Amino acid sequence: MATPIKVVVAGALGRVGREMMYGLSADPDVDLVGGADPVAAEDYFDLPGGGGLVPLARSVEALFSRVRPRVMVDFTTAEAALANARAAIRAGVSPVIGTTGLSPANIEEIGRLAHEAQLGAVIAPNFAIGANLMMYFARIASRYLSAAEIIELHHAGKADAPSGTAYSTAKMMREARGEPFDRQETKKLTLDDVRGGDVDGIRIHSVRLPGLVAHQEVIFGGQGQTLIIRHDSYGRDSFVPGVLLAVKEVVNRSELVYGLDKIMGLGDG
């Protein structure tokens, strides 16, 4: 039997981070050895159901020297995720990052650092397996239907808009189509920004409400027909299976992989 992969979670006390702590600790191929969060007031995280105590620290650097993990899972903020990734790679720890809001320059830097260290890394706009299938199907549909809009719906506390998933979906669709989408101009707007943001002819609309978690619709229009591809995450535990896929694969890589679809083997659609 293979030795379990030693993993720590950055952002362990956040909404997603807690789900990662619970979900990763339940997998026999993973050894959850710690969590980090700047608001940590205790030295240990008490897993539910008598799962035991997991070391806690306020910084990933302190955690790395304390428990010596192989992989760091990060669900923090864009600023913290970049700093955490730098520290992880310096320590020989592979980052698996689900934090959104990283700029292209941030992603390029993490890729360069991983390449120089010959260390695997994963960044994914969305770790829900169903969401990645939604994006894959949208890429396929983009070759056949020339008009599309995206509606993404998230909880009221989400910091960025549009979501990283929606923006990535639009860019993937544009690449798959090979040309901008048909954009119908509205002649009269009685409310500013009512038509949403625009990515090469694809309008993106962001909804932020209490009660939501993470949801997205890609709506295609064609002659006499529409196609709607929708994915719903009803709980943050929906990200756990995808993160586990990434954790188990990143240790076999020596470079940055962007997107869970690459690990799922979905190809270009």
For residue 269, name the pLDDT band (cuts at 50, 70, 90): low
Active-site hit among 155, 158, 171, 248: 158
CATH class of 129-233: alpha beta
| Per-residue confidence (pLDDT) for residue 182, from 0 to 100 | 92
Mean pLDDT of 231-238: 94
DSSP states of 175-197:
HHHSSPPP-PPPS--SSTTTT-E
Whole-prediction pTM? 0.88
Nearest to 30 by CA among 51, 8, 7, 46: 7
Residue 101: band (very low, low, confident or very high) from pLDDT cuts 50, 70, 90: confident
Phi, psi of 242 (to 5 degrees): -70, -40
Residue 268 has pLDDT above 80, yes or no: no
Higher pLDDT, 185 or 144: 144
Among this protein's residues, is 262 annotated catalytic?
no
Domain with CATH 3.30.360.10 in the chain: 129-233
Which DSSP category does 48 fall into?
Answer: G
- CATH number given to 5-123+236-264: 3.40.50.720
Q: Is 158 a catalytic residue?
A: yes
Q: Where in the chain is the domain with CATH 3.40.50.720?
A: 5-123+236-264
Q: Which stretch of DSSP H or E encloses residue 246?
A: helix 240-250
The mean pLDDT of the chain is: 94
Element (H, E) at 220: strand 214-222
Sheet with strand 197-199: strands edge to edge: 197-199, 202-208, 147-154, 214-222, 225-233
Cα–Cα distance measured from residue 181 to residue 179, given in angstroms and rounded to the nearest whole number: 7
The neighbouring-strand residues paired with 46 are 53
Closest among 123, 99, 89, 156 to 258, alpha carbons compared = 123
Candidate list 154, 205, 215, 231, residue with the active-site label: 154
Strands 52-57 and 30-36 turn out to be parallel
